[in-house]
Structure 1
Amino acid sequence: MAVAAMAVPIGASAQELQTGQVRGQLTDAGTQSPLSGAQITLVETGAVTASQEGGRFTFRNVPAGTYTLKVSYIGLADYTVPVTVPGNAIAEVAVAMPDRMTMDRIVVVGQRAAQASALNQQRVASNLSNVISSDQAGRFPDSNAAEALQRVPGVAINREEKGGEGRYISIRGLDSGLNNFKINGINVAQTDKETRRVPLDVVQADALAKIVVNKTLLPDMDGDGIGGSVELETGSAFDLKERLIRFNLEGNYNDFANKLGGKVSATYGDTFGAEDQLGVLVSGTYNKRHTLGYNNLQDEEYVPYFEQDEGEPIDMSDGNTLIPWWFGLGNFDNERENIGASIALDYRLDANTSLYAKGSYNRLEDVELSSGFFIIADDDELYQDGVFNPEGGTTYQVRSEYEESVLTNSTLTVGGSTALDQFVFDYSAGYARGIFEEPNDYEVAFEYELTGPVLYDYSDKYFPQPQLSDADAAAIRDPSNFVLGSNDIDLDDSKDEKYIAQFDTTYDPGSTWLSYIKGGVKFQRSRRALYEENVLDAQGDLALVGSGFEGGFLDTSDIGSPYGTILKLNPGSIRNWRSIAGQLVADGVLENDYDGEPRDEDSYTGTEDIYAGYLMAEAVQGDFEFIGGVRVEYLDFTSDGFEVIETDDGENVAPRTSTSNNTQVLPRIQVNYRPTEKLVVRGAAFTSLARPEFAFLNAATEIEIVDDNSIDAFVGNPNLKPAYAWNFDLGAEYYLSSIGMVSANAFYKSIDDFIFVDAAPEGEVTIPALNARFPGYTIDVETVFNGNRAEVYGIELAYMNQFTSLKGLWGGFGVYANVTLQETSADIGLDGRDGVPFFNAPDYVGTAALTYQKYGIEANLAYTFRGDSLEELGPYLIDKYQQAYNTLDGQLRYAVTEKASVYINAIDILDDGLDPVVNKTLGKEGRYPEDVTFNGRTVTFGVTVEF
């Protein structure tokens, strides 16, 4: 297609003199709001375009004459207006669509306006995408961007284990780390210190105007995004009908926390200048909430009662069972604080050039204090005579952790667009920064030595019951039996900075069949650093009684726990452990085991440069659109890490540098068939990437000299390949006049060299350089490597409709529902692991909702559900699963006046605290709990006022 496009003449001057442009703005006559996403047809020529930001649209290279503009916007009746185009000039036209339906008269506002806007933008899009729109300036019912996305077909969320809020999303069975995320066109910098995942609970939903999920990728989109790409967009003043000043005050309450929190947000937007050529939109939000929950945790691995090789399946006969050798339960008291701000400056320099500057800042601070117990079997030698009986004994720990985590994400982008004759030039530059800070992370445990090994009763699927002797059961309730056990203070920081520049050129040849030719280049530099520091590990004699750490008892009956009341530590002393421990070390009561270099050898810095270019074109033949081209991306990677050599005499640490590079060619084609304005049939074949995590590419080396003859070594792998996927999509969308749609899409993905998100597979290799450095040694080297191939295939079904044709109160009802059914398999290259499911890919995910909007009432009740999914590989060929989950959420808003409304939202309405919000288990059947979290329901309520 691109080669054929080269044969099209640039355009003769005689032709230029005889053609002009149609340029205009589309608004709703009833609300005066700009309408984006409308399909606009120049009837006499058949040319089609879509209204963009602010309702603006343009037809170029239109021969002089009189024409009819036909406007199609879901939710409003079709509308036509005449327009006369002079030769070599611009015809300006303002189109105000009457607010009428073909069946009944309505005013499209509120949640119906948001749904209509989203459906219109989805319909006119060149690729398969789903759009979530707010009502112009940002008012989502969900608390953060992840929870807003869970309504999209094929999207599932993973909740943060402690706070219970949505954090990560998967698209079509692909983990968050395998997708692409942008804010205002800039790739989001990572705040997750160990993966390429993007935690979306950092971003408050009401700071956004629109979220787009791209499920098929065009050549002008980034290479990475095997599952898809997510574009988070803040608003523009040009999207407003008039000056906007909005305040929102909100309270929130969590069942278990029994504390009120609050949120305040404000938005200001207006246009300035004689021709309203300058737009300013500023928004800010502050949200503080308290959550309290319980976490039932197996923190290491399950082991069988009878000793065996962990790479072999377990024989469960003859009384064999699984035992968690590190098991506990506790509650966590969280205080979560979000700060968000955004600014958008838009300037129309003249009729052909517009400029913009957009910035966003999002910060999440999570302060967590946990209290509970752990039963820990000493791991030096778990088995005696082939039976579970830890040689070092088993301890019962009264344990607490205090952790302050701060995640900050900020972006700044400047750019513009200039039209010159038949060309449009788009240009932008941006900066993104993601920071993870953990300034305070303390763990303190006082322990008691139990009299024997501990087995468990699994008759309760959530709470394994430890089988303790009567003496031990009594002893663990007496604080005088406990002395200081494990404790730790760590400092972790990571930073990811991205510098991005992009230039695109679109050429309109004025052809009857070739719509445009487009090409562009992009540069992105990512600098990422991880710093981990060991601060304190205090050793010495310190009794619980008299130390100031006694905290009474913790009642676990809120969640139906069989453990009753358990000893806990004093929260105030835990929060001050840094100063308390420092003083005890200074007084000689305790001794700090960390001395010398406090830096952890896992620290590293890395630089990733990506150079990209693409060429694409769109051709239209009858009702068919063909969009195709190719993208090429070159990656250059450098990392500075450490090599650690461990001997009986200690550790020797030295710096180590690694480099790698690769080139990827990414062909992509999209075909759309539009036989009517309501029906779109789409097909796509495209390729995409997912790059390895920085830590896997870092050639950090750990060498342990076991004895005079043997060495065990672990080495990172800078030669890891990006995962490369072929993606195929076929589906149809039928749009209903009553603000609705029915759609079905089938998809298939074949992924070569896929990458594990949390932990890469490991295998043995030979490294000649190590053999030369250590002659005479037998060296066993482990490294990370790519998986072989994974496959994902499935079908997405969606239906939404507003029953506007019904009379009376019934005309306010609406529904939306979607379900995605998918199957996955992965050949990970390990023995006994053929055909396992892909990670974080539930077999089904969906939403069913009932909505209402009339008489000033806006309401919805949404039931969201997802199936179980593979979390990670486990020992003894028993893998770890996230069990199925569902939630019922509700929202009710009432417009007291045209400018003021009150609302109440209930999140997880059916959660009485007895069912977990997160339920991870060893084994798909769910018998052995891994990580079970109970949070209870949350209610928010507030008032919104506009001026």
Structure 2
Amino acid sequence: MALALAAAQPVQAQTPAARFQRFDIPAQEASSSLVQLCLQADCELSFVQRPGQQARTRAVRGEMSWREALVRMLEGTGLRHRFVGARGVRIWAEPAPSRPAPAEPSAPSEAVEVEGVEVIGRASSQIAESLRRKRAADVISDGVSVEQIGGLPAANLAEALQRVPGVAIEHEVGEGQFVSVRGLGPLFQSVTLNGAPVAFNENIRNSTQSGRQFRFRALSVDLLAGARLAKSATADMIDGGIGANIDIETAGGLDGDPFASVRVGGVVEGRTRGFRPDLSVVGRIVSEDGNLGLVAGASQEDRAVRYDRFQIMRFGRIQAGGTSLVAPNDLRTTVESEDRRRRSAFVGADWRVSPGLRLDFDGLVSTFDNAIREDRLVYSLGPRLTGQGSEIRVKDGVVVGGRVAGGRIDNNTEFSDQSHLNLAVSLGAELRTDAWTLTPRLSVSTARSVLDTPLLRLSAQSPEGAAYDFDLEGAVSDRRAERLTTSFDLLDPSRLTLAQLNLRAVESRDDDATAFFGARRKLDRALGPLHLSGLKLGGQFSDRGRDYQRRDRRATPRGAGWVLADLYRGASADDVFADLVRNRSTPWIVADQDRLQAGFFLPGEHDGVVVAPGDLTPTGADLQNSYRVGEQVAAVYARLDFDGLVGGWPFSGNAGLRQVRTRTHVEGAKLAFAHGTGVVKPVSFDGRHDVLLPSVNLAFETSGDAVLRMAASRTITRPSLADLRASTVPASVLVSSIYTRGQAAIDDPEPGVIFSGVGGNPDLKPYVSDNLDLSYEVTRRRTGYSVAVFHKTIGDFIQMVEAPEVLTFETQAGPPIQAQVLMSRPRNLGSARVDGVELGLHRRLTDSFGVWANLTWTHSRVGGARLTGVSDWAWSVSPYLERGPLAVNLSWSWRSAFRSEADMQGGGVSDFTIGAAGYLDAQASYDLSETTQVVIAGSNLTNTHDLAYEGSKARLLQIGSSGRWFSVRVNRRW
């Protein structure tokens, strides 16, 4: 059967491929749905179907180009297609599979094209689908679908996104966590859920805070439909992403046919060896009339991770033989054990109330619980390196090895139970009138992070006189230290004395409520060589904020007969640091969490140590460490869509303006000294910023399979909420020392005590960037590739600046005292520049074998230095093999070294370098039947070691290793 449909119109009113429209076409017989699509989109259709064969297309709902709508409609139908020019498409049926015949094959009819069969759900088809969506978009964009995430090795959405051109990720304890795009770190990405802002899930592990950096591992990918990255801006897009706008997509109730799927499996870590379950169930139901659909799902993922960390906290200077040398203050070996549990549930509903009214709802809740313990040995160095009987070895002015004859070893243990809750709900409507389509929407989200068990830091010490040897030469290049050994008995708790048990209770709550209103209408108006095709008007109002509360205490042992040795039970694993230190002294005795919690209390405040911030009356230091930030954003926009023909090239584009006003209100406190006593002074600040954001996007269809894009825009990123805080946080060791020793801690500081700290600056302005983008994209049957060049000039760039401040400190037994502290605070310091090139490639070499690859080069500068978080080079290559029911996928991802800044456990902000790293992941799947599949995956198969160093490579800061992990799962779909 053949069907042809042509919709003629004047040349100046042609509808190019990239024009976006609203489609609402239910699942039905193919000829009906294709006619309905082309009548609505003004496209030209040629459809050839084999006699006696009928295909049923998928439902298509939402705003997209007609090409993208067609691709979605044909998924899983067995129908093939080829676009012809700007408005045409040919669709034909795949030939039925048959056994080879000895006779000469007859020539196929003109309407049938024989190609390798693409299996829906395999990597090849989903990569090709991403390239088609990239081509159909009205901006420079990339993305991944949930099928890609499932078809390629990836533990979470962040790890899937690193295969997209221009994207690099940061790992945290063995799992991808933060996303950087086009050389700009996680702060510069605007993350939305189905187009609506989401509250940020805060880091509460230590005094380092992440501000606006979305933590991707808090969400389960099972309940997601994918993610889209917009690398150029439009006026109707949520502002806040200079790097990119990352929209996380969930499924809709009417986005497809009814189904049910179950995944059962688990994860095995190479070090912990335990098997942890991995379960999910997802399904969709649709009413018989196709007007009401509901999709829902739930999942649970558990992991047990062990991360070995060999670390130097800071470097200082020592005098040896009249020569000033750089030397590590200490050496630390830490075993970090984490029990992670991620639970998620999602529901999406769509209701077509009438032909002109549609309602939709989506809700996502995710909990991420993380029980952490860190067992640590701290070998004191610094001035002890020049003590009697000690020896040192020096290279390029840095102490890289030696022996300490009269030292001290700290046996430290930290416990905490993190709990993160993310909740997001959204309710929207689409109301069609004769001329306009109105789209109001309301979204509410909250992110709550709390330490269910506060951070407990037990410090015990060996006697003075412990001897140990170390050798760090070559540790950076080899990512392995040569030696750290001691003659001290690390398994005898009776030789330890209590230093202290510190407690930190933290709770952070972020909230976001956003109201949208959009109105759009089709246009059909000529303006010179332009055809005006659409107009969008709208606005947004967001009210968001953070309440961060922190309490620090020192606990007291219970009873007079208390014995420190009773707290210890068991020892570290025998194989700790086996791949980080060649010659090592292990294991060592470790503390028991239950005995520790039972053995201490907070006199006068709480009969125990398991407390929340609300259980304790805040001290002046607590109030100084806590803060509240409120932010209100109001925006209005206008966007005009157009198309036309120039030089024989059809083109489309959009131009718009977005006016944004941001108001901030910050509250905090500062401990001050007045009339011989300490007083807590409230601090508040109100700010307001207005900015106009223009944008232009153009797409020229240079041929039937190629698009040239150009974009210019102005975008903003607001300062991190942590940078805006009105708080002053001196180094933890300094606060503790002054509280205990009073003025003596200032007059005669103990080794390792540093007079530094960090704080915020409520007076910060937002980053404002002027952006230029150029890309060329080609999508062919077996090959797709893209080349993009980008430039960003970012004004009011924020950097940390150190300056001395006189701070007031509380003491245990006397009045408050003051001391001068070198504080690091953020400041707006001029402009930064980012230039780069990104390449993307998908090449199907044979019917069974292909490769997906990308490469990004970035050159960034601010004040003569590279931007923090920016690698000059990042690339990934993912070859795949698909033969019959078997699919095998490999993925190698690599990024070059980059600068980083962090508050080193309350010791002040340090500038250091994260070493280059590459990770190899693999996955194999086998289709047991049309509905059942088994999948085996492995991550970090190269056992890559993380690396950090300060300045030169002679100054090692950290080598870390999480080992390999493996998973197996069975997927079944009905």
- Equivalent residue number for residue 473 of structure 1: 487
- Does 2:335 correspond to 1:334? no
- Equivalent residue number for residue 827 of structure 2: 785
- Does 2:149 correspond to 1:126? no
Contact 2:80 2:91 in 1 (8 A): no
- Equivalent residue number for residue 899 of structure 1: 931
Q: Please list, as runs of the form range in 1=range in 2, the aligned pairs for 1:228-267 lying within 5 A after superposition.
A: 228-240=244-256, 242-267=257-282
- Equivalent residue number for residue 356 of structure 1: 360
- Give the secondary-structure state (helix, strand or coil) at the position aligned to 1:559: coil
- Does 2:352 correspond to 1:345? no
Distance in 1 separating the partners of 2:964 and 2:760: 43
Amino acid at match of 2:538: G
- Equivalent residue number for residue 618 of structure 2: 597
Distance in 2 separating the partners of 1:302 and 1:943: 50
Deviations 1:685-740 (A, max 9, x none): 11111111233323346899999xxx9999743221001111111110000123x4
Alignment partner of 1:866 out of 895, 919, 923: 895
- Equivalent residue number for residue 227 of structure 2: 211
Contact 1:372 1:566 in 2 (8 A): no
- Equivalent residue number for residue 772 of structure 1: none
Distance in 2 separating the partners of 1:656 and 1:282: 46
Deviations 1:89-140 (A, max 9, x none): xxxxx99863578441525411244223322221110001102113499777
Deviations 1:900-919 (A, max 9, x none): 111101111222xxx41x21
- Give the secondary-structure state (helix, strand or coil) at the position aligned to 1:76: strand
- Give the secondary-structure state (helix, strand or coil) at the position aligned to 1:653: strand
- Does 2:217 correspond to 1:170? no
Q: Please list, as runs of the form range in 1=range in 2, the aligned pairs for 1:75-154 lying within 5 A after superposition.
A: 76-78=80-82, 98-99=93-94, 102-104=113-115, 106-111=117-122, 112-135=124-147, 141-154=153-166
Amino acid at match of 2:341: E
Q: Please list, as runs of the form range in 1=range in 2, the aligned pairs for 1:385-784 lying within 5 A after superposition.
A: 395-440=408-453, 441-451=455-465, 457-461=471-475, 462=479, 473-474=487-488, 478-512=492-526, 513-538=531-556, 546-552=565-571, 554-555=573-574, 556=576, 558-562=578-582, 564-566=584-586, 568-571=588-591, 573-582=592-601, 597-598=618-619, 599-622=622-645, 623-645=650-672, 651-700=678-727, 716-738=760-782, 740-756=783-799, 760-763=800-803, 784=826
- Equivalent residue number for residue 798 of structure 1: 840
Amino acid at match of 1:577: L
C-alpha spacing 1:522/1:70, structure 2 compared with 1 (3 Å)? closer
- 1:674 Cα deviation (Å)? 1.1
- Equivalent residue number for residue 294 of structure 1: 308
Contact 1:220 1:520 in 2 (8 A): yes
Contact 1:761 1:786 in 2 (8 A): no
- 1:453 Cα deviation (Å)? 10
- Equivalent residue number for residue 812 of structure 1: 848
Q: Sequence identity, in percent?
A: 19
- 1:787 Cα deviation (Å)? 2.7
- Does 2:941 correspond to 1:930? no
- Equivalent residue number for residue 4 of structure 2: none
- Equivalent residue number for residue 8 of structure 2: none
Distance in 2 separating the partners of 1:931 and 1:487: 25
Contact 1:678 1:735 in 2 (8 A): yes
Q: Aligned residue pairs: how many?
A: 849
Contact 1:821 1:843 in 2 (8 A): yes
Amino acid at match of 2:828: N
Contact 1:378 1:394 in 2 (8 A): no
Contact 2:138 2:653 in 1 (8 A): no
Contact 1:608 1:637 in 2 (8 A): yes
Distance in 2 separating the partners of 1:183 and 1:138: 20
Distance in 2 separating the partners of 1:643 and 1:131: 45
Structure 1 residue runs without a partner (length 5+): 1-20, 46-51, 61-68, 84-93, 308-316, 768-776, 804-809, 828-834
Distance in 2 separating the partners of 1:485 and 1:379: 20
Deviations 1:825-846 (A, max 9, x none): 112xxxxxxx111111111111
- 1:410 Cα deviation (Å)? 1.5
- Equivalent residue number for residue 859 of structure 2: 823
- Equivalent residue number for residue 848 of structure 1: 877
Distance in 2 separating the partners of 1:549 and 1:632: 61
**642-651 vs 478-487, which moves further:** 642-651
Distance in 2 separating the partners of 1:376 and 1:795: 46
Distance in 1 separating the partners of 2:909 and 2:294: 58
Contact 2:325 2:398 in 1 (8 A): no
- Give the secondary-structure state (helix, strand or coil) at the position aligned to 2:702: coil
- Does 2:373 correspond to 1:369? yes
Deviations 1:524-553 (A, max 9, x none): 000210011124333799997642325345
- 1:884 Cα deviation (Å)? 0.8
- 1:26 Cα deviation (Å)? 8.5
- Give the secondary-structure state (helix, strand or coil) at the position aligned to 1:349: strand
- 1:452 Cα deviation (Å)? 8.6
Alignment partner of 1:181 out of 170, 173, 191: 191
- 1:172 Cα deviation (Å)? 0.9
Distance in 1 separating the partners of 2:756 and 2:332: 32
- 1:481 Cα deviation (Å)? 2.4
- 1:586 Cα deviation (Å)? 12
C-alpha spacing 1:581/1:536, structure 2 compared with 1 (3 Å)? same
- Does 2:857 correspond to 1:839? no
C-alpha spacing 1:365/1:97, structure 2 compared with 1 (3 Å)? farther
Amino acid at match of 2:414: E
- 1:43 Cα deviation (Å)? 4.7
Deviations 1:884-927 (A, max 9, x none): 1111111111111111111101111222xxx41x212213x533
Q: TM-score, normalised by structure 2?
A: 0.78
Amino acid at match of 1:698: R
Amino acid at match of 1:859: V
Contact 1:554 1:565 in 2 (8 A): no
Deviations 1:180-227 (A, max 9, x none): 001122212111242111110101122211210111111111221011
Distance in 2 separating the partners of 1:402 and 1:764: 34
Structure 2 residue runs without a partner (length 5+): 1-20, 46-56, 96-111, 204-208, 389-396, 744-754, 808-818
- Give the secondary-structure state (helix, strand or coil) at the position aligned to 1:238: coil
- Give the secondary-structure state (helix, strand or coil) at the position aligned to 1:142: coil
Amino acid at match of 1:249: V
- Does 2:299 correspond to 1:285? yes
Amino acid at match of 1:617: L
- Give the secondary-structure state (helix, strand or coil) at the position aligned to 2:544: strand
C-alpha spacing 1:730/1:40, structure 2 compared with 1 (3 Å)? farther
- 1:878 Cα deviation (Å)? 9.3
Distance in 2 separating the partners of 1:694 and 1:616: 30
- Equivalent residue number for residue 920 of structure 1: 948
Distance in 2 separating the partners of 1:600 and 1:239: 49
Distance in 1 separating the partners of 2:518 and 2:246: 20
**288-297 vs 561-570, which moves further:** 561-570
Contact 1:445 1:486 in 2 (8 A): yes
Amino acid at match of 1:730: L
- 1:932 Cα deviation (Å)? 2.1
> How big is the alpha-carbon RMSD for the aligned residues of Structure 1 and Structure 2?
4.6
Distance in 2 separating the partners of 1:492 and 1:898: 50
Amino acid at match of 1:872: E
- Equivalent residue number for residue 18 of structure 2: none
- Give the secondary-structure state (helix, strand or coil) at the position aligned to 2:722: helix
